Amino acid sequence: MHILIITETFLPSTDGVVTRLTNSIRYFMKNGHQVTVIAPDLGVNEFEGAKVIGLPARKLPFYRSKAFALPSQRVKKLIMQCDPDVVHVVNPALLGATGVHFAKKLGYPLIASYHTQVPKYAEYYHLSIFKGVLWWYFRKLHNKATINLCTSNVVKQELDQQQFRNVHVWKRGVDTSLFHPNKSDSEMRTRLTNGIDDKKLLLYVGRLAPEKEIEKIRTVLEQSDQFVLAIVGDGPHRAELEEHFQGTNTVFTGFMHGEELAQAYASSDVFVFPSTTETLGLVLMEAMASGLPIVAADSGPTREQIEHEKHGLLYNPKRLDSFKETVLRLEDEALRNRLAEKAWKDIHEMGWDDQSQQALAFYQQVIDSQHKDFDKKECS
């Protein structure tokens, strides 16, 4: 089949959405399908045989660290030129909104996926007053699709409550050949610890934004001299975070990809993930596959991946000192090793094939549904 993916974010950006898409596209292409991607133009025009069509991108006043493509009439022409068997709009908001509109208007089988809790993020940007409007807007977009995908059961329940229609959970995945404990590297550890190799290395990987609550990690560094911190990633909150962590043993690396990122995981001691707003958090699985114990917030999506006292430790986000106290427990090497071993054991056979096969099944279901509707109209 010819799959057209319209997405608000793609390479060279790096986040959970891009990770999922690139692994899915790789699988689709390997299994004989044709894939075209419409995305913000960030200089990438091809990915492993899939054509990438870039539309003009610009930075928005309220989010200066990332370029977005705005709604465009050109999307209609591109859909007609591609003439795909199915259109998958990923995180429809701006560019994706026109993808949803024109795919529906032109009669193409349409599927949409929900990856980012934008209404919840509004609280961190002092825009809570717009939460109702945001839910209305995203519900209106997603309900034009025949099937909607999301990334956890908890998010599905929330979308069901918000009256999103026909919502299904898209399975998780992780590249266990790339992320593995054997990727540990002494030079990488020296880089991440700023040469303080004998300390326990806390690692954060992800977008640097207010809703990630990364500031909490400083309380651990102030309480114990046993830890140092490496923050891998970039985002709109980086300057504020660099100021916040001044005077601590913290290294900011910027973005890392591929083997370099795998080395960063495997060369660390504990993965810390304070955020309470995640729909999935693929970095948790990358950390587990790399043999790291995890400290994360006790939230619905996280509990679907991390079992407390088995793969890591879940802190209570409603209690002020819970994060600090939870991380400090991992001064205990025996506890770290036990959690790390179980985390790796429970995830090391996972890959991306199952979730990619699931996506193809959903695509076929949408195509078949469209054909049935067409046949009914012809009969009438």
Least confident of 59-63, 104-108, 162-166, 215-219: 59-63
Q: What is the pLDDT of residue 380?
A: 42
Number of residues that make up the chain = 380
Q: Which residue segment(s) compose the domain that 244 sits in?
A: 181-347
CATH of the domain at 138: 3.40.50.2000
**Per-residue pLDDT averaged across 122-128, rounded?**
67
Which residue, 207, 237, 205, 214, is CA-closest to 64? 237
Q: Which of 180, 188, 152 is nearest to 167 (CA)?
A: 152
Question: Do residues 322 and 235 both lie within one domain?
Answer: yes
39 lies in the same domain as 169: yes
Does 200 lie in the same domain as 315? yes
Which residue type is seen at 268? Answer: S
- The residues near 72 (Cβ < 8 Å, ≥ 6 apart) are 55, 56, 95, 98
Domain shared by 159 and 189, yes or no: no
* Residues 133, 192 within the same domain: no
CA nearest neighbour of 228 among 198, 205, 256: 198
Q: Is 35 helix (H, G, I), strand (E, B) or coil?
A: strand
Q: Are residues 155 and 241 in the same domain?
A: no
- CA gap 283, 304 in Å, rounded: 14
Both 8 and 143 in a single domain?
yes
Residue 379 in tokens: 């009969």
Contact 273, 284 (CB under 8 A): yes
The answer to whether residues 74 and 136 belong to one domain is yes
Confidence category of residue 231, pLDDT binned at 50, 70, 90: very high
pLDDT in tens, 276-311: 877 678 999 999 999 999 999 998 888 989 999 999
Residues 201 and 330 in one domain: yes
How many structural domains comprise the chain? 2
Q: How many helices (H) and strands (E) does the chain have?
A: 15, 16
Same domain for 112 and 44: yes
Rounded Cα distance between 316 and 219, Å, is 15
Residue 119: pLDDT band (50, 70, 90) is confident
As a whole number, mean pLDDT of residues 186-207 equals 96
**Are residue 125 and residue 213 in the same domain, yes or no?**
no
Q: Six-digit token pair at 359? A: 């996506």
156 lies in the same domain as 19: yes
Sign of CA pseudo-dihedral 37, 42, 47, 51: positive
